[in-house]
């Protein structure tokens, strides 16, 4: 049920405003109106009034503003997806499913989704002379401030206006700048407060304030991101969610609450007004917030090098070619393919060359391919086992323009997977880069997929976002560690019943017993074998175990796709 | 405060008690907002010494700004330390005392903001 709030959200576009609106929408709250301030690229730097009288110019300026104000979250999501996931894990107590929350904030975001009335106002900040007349004409009452500068006194003088601000410090103890980091340093935990703004600094009557549980983000294995990146990630993915949580959970709970907001005066003799942190102090605070990975043998000294394992061409070497079109790259790839010391590597490099050439026809995929290659580069250096770290894709995705060693489209078509899972819940074991899950998600009701290798899951998440698939959830986990509880219509076991990467810690019998435990009564196991030469003469034992828990309905071998696709047995079996 | 700071403090600050917290807060604001000090390099060392001396002197437990946990660092002291580091950056290498003051600041930071001493169970 939706509740309409007597509230104007005055938007300075950025993570803070977006987090407020996404959180409001999640709670079924819609503000009366959104006023988006749009800076004029022609006059903003000179601090002159905004022009932008033409609607087309205004739209263009809004796009420029989006790229400028959200540059850091966009870049961090692209270049550091594992960092974002680590932050999301730490933010779970603040907001459910933070990864989905970030996607709502930074993928295809449109203000029209959050309010019936959206007004775009040309304004170079709060001092723009057009702002006060425009807000006065609108007759705004309660206004939510979303950051972006200091409010000048004339705005406070607008008749009937009251401005609400959410500040990431526990009032009255922590005021000023960098307060989230100061809170971590001086109080050991984040704090947050909502208050009525005044021309003073964080001294208005308090609407709500609280301290949260201590917060620590366990960084993913690999090189520690630099402090600038970690600081920007704080303001992109942590700070906005903490503010939104208090705002929506404790202040804007419903329409009548907004109509009768009343603050409590602060004790202005208590507390400290902090200034921006010196780099040395900031580094110390960031060390408290972002902790080293607990379970990894990797250290801060690990860096992506340009030398791959076993002489394979390392994806790090190619990363620069994805920043912008390169005429050198295809030539380089062709030479590397010719020099490759195995046909598998030659094929992989050749696939990469074809995919790279296709970016000329699909420039919208360039940033995605850059992000995916960055993950391949990282896992080449960081992931200790098996060959997914050698810099190529195992799975293909036609939708993403990725050619791997397995033909996903052929796999889906040969097995009739789209029809098999139509409208059903699916659980995929060991999903690799998730391209198969993404391919069947368009017909399935919901897909839950997991994979031990976090770099592959980072690739899966990037693909999911690019395609806008909302009914797929990816998780980093071993099958042995997946909590039982939910049951699925179809459990997909595609060449995962035993692996030769040394990562499996359960017997074949245990494996199928767990498959059975995740299958609904009447549900199915959809199974694909390894190639015949890997299954060997013991495959009958695998079939016996399947039949212990399931009744085999279909068992067939298909001829399609690459040499790695050929000869595998495909089985559909119903749970006993 | 370690004894070897004492000669520097005496040379820079003399025997006076030094500014009170309100005056130090004003100095912090000047450093942060104006990014300059009235007296130039010599003033940077004096101001940094004043701020560091304050950072090394924790609030009395009944002071309204005192931390509510015995292991929590003293907030106003950390604020002073932060501004002292900024003051030293404003006029880097223009005073013979600046390296020693910077080293003292880092020692204090280690003491005041040691990881793992976050207060647990405070409201």
User: From the CA of A195, how many Å to the nearest CA of chain B?
Assistant: 19
Closest CA to B36 of B82, B75, B89, B114: B89
Instruction: Answer whether residue A533 shows pLDDT above 90.
Output: no
Widest CA span in chain B: 45
Of A200-204, A219-223, A289-293, B56-60, the poorest mean pLDDT is in B56-60
User: Is the Cβ–Cβ distance between A241 and A73 less than 8 Å?
Assistant: no
How many helices and strands in chain A, by DSSP H and E?
23, 18
Rounded-to-integer distance, Cα A245 and Cα A253, Å: 11
Instruction: Answer whether residue A64 shows pLDDT above 90.
Output: yes
Give me the DSSP letters along A558-569.
---SSTTTTT-E
Rounded-to-integer distance, Cα A258 and Cα A104, Å: 25
What angle is formed at CA A543 by the lines to CA A541 and CA A549, rounded to 5 degrees?
Answer: 110
CB contact under 8 A, B113 and A276: no
Closest CA to A546 of A570, A567, A565, A566: A570
What angle is formed at CA A318 by the lines to CA A317 and CA A320, rounded to 5 degrees?
Answer: 100
| Cβ-based contacts of A187 with chain B (< 8 Å) | 67, 72, 119, 122
Instruction: Answer whether residue B106 shows pLDDT above 70.
Output: yes
H helix runs in A107-226, sequence order:
131-138, 153-156, 179-187
Say how many C-beta atoms besides its own lie within 10 A of residue A541's C-beta. Answer: 12
User: From the CA of A264, how many Å to the nearest CA of chain B?
Assistant: 18
- Angstrom CA distances, A67 to A73, A75, A84, A145, stand at 10, 10, 19, 21
Q: Judge whether B77 is closer than 8 Å to chain A, CB to CB.
A: no
- In terms of Cβ atoms closer than 10 Å to its own Cβ (0-12, 13-18, 19+), residue A574 is middle
Closest CA to B4 of B111, B114, B107: B107
Structure tokens at A98: 């933070």
Rounded-to-integer distance, Cα B50 and Cα B46, Å: 6
Structure tokens at A73: 């979250």
User: From the CA of A288, how many Å to the nearest CA of chain B?
Assistant: 6
The pLDDT value given to residue B119 = 37
Q: Write the residue in A174, A185, A275 that is nearest to B83 by C-beta.
A: A275
Say how many C-beta atoms besides its own lie within 10 A of residue B59's C-beta. Answer: 16
- In terms of Cβ atoms closer than 10 Å to its own Cβ (0-12, 13-18, 19+), residue A91 is buried
Interface of B with A in 88-117 (CB under 8 A): 89, 105-106, 109, 113, 115
Closest CA to A471 of A450, A444, A439, A491: A444
Rounded-to-integer distance, Cα A208 and Cα A206, Å: 6
* pLDDT winner (highest mean) among A50-54, A433-437, B70-74: A433-437
Q: What is the dihedral of CA A202, A208, A210, A212, to 10 degrees?
A: -100
Rounded-to-integer distance, Cα A342 and Cα A380, Å: 18
Rounded-to-integer distance, Cα A104 and Cα A157, Å: 35
Interface residue of A181, A217, A281 to substitute, partner B, most B CBs within 10 Å: A281
Percentage of chain A lying above the pLDDT 70 cut: 94
Confidence category of residue B70, pLDDT binned at 50, 70, 90: low
pTM flag (> 0.80): no
Instruction: Answer whether residue A547 shows pLDDT above 70.
Output: yes
Residues with Cβ within 8 Å of A269's Cβ and at least 6 positions away in sequence, in order, are B64
Structure tokens at A103: 């996607």
pLDDT tens track for A16-49: 999 999 999 999 999 999 999 999 999 988 888 8
Structure tokens at A396: 């293909």
Structure tokens at A485: 């509880």
According to DSSP, residue A43 is labeled T
Please provide the size of chain A in residues. 576
A39 compared with A299, residue with greater pLDDT = A39
Widest CA span in chain A: 84
Structure tokens at A548: 């212990």
| Cβ-based contacts of A280 with chain B (< 8 Å) | 85, 105-106, 109
User: Is the Cβ–Cβ distance between A277 and A267 less than 8 Å?
Assistant: no
| Cβ-based contacts of B120 with chain A (< 8 Å) | 188, 214
Mean pLDDT of A325-338: 87
Q: Judge whether B40 is closer than 8 Å to chain A, CB to CB.
A: no
H helix runs in A29-114, sequence order:
55-69, 71-79, 81-91, 98-106
User: Is the Cβ–Cβ distance between A432 and A438 less than 8 Å?
Assistant: no
Closest chain B residue by Cα to residue A214: B120
Rounded-to-integer distance, Cα A366 and Cα A519, Å: 39
Q: Write the residue in A186, A272, A287 that is nearest to B72 by C-beta.
A: A186
| Chain A residues whose C-beta sits inside 8 Å of any chain B C-beta | 173-174, 182, 184-189, 211, 214, 267, 269-278, 280-281, 284-285, 287-288
Instruction: Answer whether residue A172 shows pLDDT above 70.
Output: yes
**Whether complex ipTM tops 0.90:** no
* pLDDT winner (highest mean) among A415-419, A475-479, A532-536: A415-419
How many helices and strands in chain B, by DSSP H and E?
5, 0
């Amino acid at each position: 049920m939706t509740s309409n709030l007597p509230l104007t959200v005055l938007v300075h576009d950025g993570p803070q405003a977006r987090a407020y609106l996404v959180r409001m929408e999640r709670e079924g709250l819609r503000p009366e109106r959104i006023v988006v301030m749009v800076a004029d690229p022609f006059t903003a730097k000179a601090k002159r009034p905004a022009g932008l009288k033409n609607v087309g110019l205004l739209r263009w300026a809004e796009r420029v503003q989006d790229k400028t104000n959200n540059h850091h979250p966009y870049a961090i999501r692209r270049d550091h997806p594992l960092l974002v996931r680590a932050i999301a894990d730490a933010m779970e107590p603040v907001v459910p499913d933070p990864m989905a929350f970030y996607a709502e904030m930074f993928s295809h975001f449109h203000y029209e989704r959050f309010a019936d009335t959206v007004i775009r106002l040309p304004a170079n900040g709060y001092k723009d002379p057009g702002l006060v007349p425009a807000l006065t004409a609108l007759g705004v009452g309660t206004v939510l401030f979303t950051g972006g500068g200091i409010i000048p006194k004339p705005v406070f003088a607008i008749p009937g206006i009251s401005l609400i601000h959410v500040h990431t410090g526990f009032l009255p103890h922590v005021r000023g700048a960098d307060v989230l980091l100061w809170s971590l340093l001086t109080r050991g935990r984040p704090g947050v407060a909502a208050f009525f703004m005044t021309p003073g600094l964080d001294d208005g009557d308090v609407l709500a304030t609280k301290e949260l549980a201590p917060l620590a983000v366990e960084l993913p294995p690999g090189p520690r991101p630099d402090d600038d990146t970690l600081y920007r990630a704080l303001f992109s993915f942590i700070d906005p969610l903490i503010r939104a949580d208090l705002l929506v959970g404790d202040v804007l709970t419903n329409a009548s609450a907004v109509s009768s907001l009343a603050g409590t005066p602060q004790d202005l003799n208590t507390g400290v007004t902090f200034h921006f942190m010196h780099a040395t102090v900031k580094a110390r605070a960031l060390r408290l917030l972002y902790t080293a990975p607990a379970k990894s043998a990797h250290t801060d000294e690990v860096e992506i090098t340009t030398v791959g394992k076993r002489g394979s061409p390392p994806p790090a070497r190619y990363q620069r070619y994805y920043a912008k079109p390169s005429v050198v790259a295809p030539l380089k790839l062709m030479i590397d393919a010719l020099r490759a010391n195995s046909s598998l590597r030659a094929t992989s490099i050749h696939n990469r060359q074809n995919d790279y050439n296709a970016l000329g026809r699909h420039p919208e995929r360039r940033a995605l391919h850059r992000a995916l290659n960055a993950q391949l580069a990282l896992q080449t250096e960081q992931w200790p086992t098996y060959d997914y770290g050698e810099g190529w894709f195992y799975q293909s995705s036609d939708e993403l323009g990725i050619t791997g060693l397995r033909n996903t489209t052929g796999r889906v078509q040969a097995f009739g997977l789209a029809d098999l899972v139509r409208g059903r819940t699916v659980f995929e074991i060991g999903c690799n880069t998730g391209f198969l899950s993404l391919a069947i998600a368009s017909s399935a009701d919901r897909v839950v997929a997991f994979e031990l290798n976090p770099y592959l899951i980072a690739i899966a998440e990037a693909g999911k976002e690019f395609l806008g698939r909302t009914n797929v959830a990816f998780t980093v986990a071993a099958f042995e560690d997946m909590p039982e509880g939910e049951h699925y219509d179809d459990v997909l076991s595609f060449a995962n019943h035993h692996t030769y990467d040394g990562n499996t810690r359960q017997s074949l019998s245990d494996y199928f017993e767990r498959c059975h435990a995740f299958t609904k009564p009447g549900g199915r196991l959809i199974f694909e074998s390894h190639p015949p030469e890997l299954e060997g003469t013991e495959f009958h034992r695998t079939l016996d175990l399947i039949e212990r828990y399931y009744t085999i309905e279909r068992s067939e071998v298909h001829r399609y796709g690459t040499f790695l696709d050929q000869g595998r047995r495909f089985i559909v079996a119903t749970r006993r | 405060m370690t004894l070897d700071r004492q000669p520097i403090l005496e040379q820079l600050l003399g025997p006076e008690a030094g500014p009170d917290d309100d005056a130090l807060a004003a100095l912090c604001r000047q450093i942060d907002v104006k990014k300059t000090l009235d007296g130039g390099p010599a003033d940077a060392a004096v101001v940094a010494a004043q701020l560091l001396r304050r950072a090394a002197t924790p609030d009395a437990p009944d002071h309204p700004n005192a931390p509510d946990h015995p292991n929590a660092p003293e907030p106003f002291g950390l604020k002073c330390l932060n501004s002292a580091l900024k003051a030293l950056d404003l006029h880097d290498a223009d005073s013979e005392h600046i390296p020693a003051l910077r080293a003292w600041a880092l020692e204090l930071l280690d003491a005041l903001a040691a990881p793992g001493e976050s207060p647990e169970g405070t409201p």
